[in-house]
Amino acid sequence: HETPPKPIIPKGLMKNSNVLDIEGLEMARQMCLQEFELCKAINPRELLARSWKREDLLISSPNLLKMIDRFNQFSSWVSYSV
């Protein structure tokens, strides 16, 4: 097992920072950690029979919806930053 690389913490990171202020390696690492947590929480039943399209989607697919929401938030952040 290799030891993971040391975190690359940007100097002066502020709330209004954009995607270009963060090292690519660190961005990839943080994205993977967050996405993994969301992905592992998804129950396989949430993916069956298009349960995310049902009226009770908040009950039938809550973790899948969280992952979709996270993707949409990140996409918006990147497009805003660019």
C-alpha 44/C-alpha 35 separation (Å) is 16
Give the SS3 label for residue 56. Answer: coil
Instruction: Quote the pTM value.
Output: 0.65
**pLDDT tens, N- to C-terminus, the chain (82 residues):** 678 778 887 776 667 777 677 888 888 888 888 899 999 999 888 888 776 677 777 778 889 889 999 999 989 988 887 7
Give the SS3 label for residue 58. Answer: helix
Phi-psi sector, 7: left (phi>0), alpha (psi -120 to 50), beta: beta
Give the SS3 label for residue 22. Answer: coil
Give me the residue label for tokens 């993994």: 36
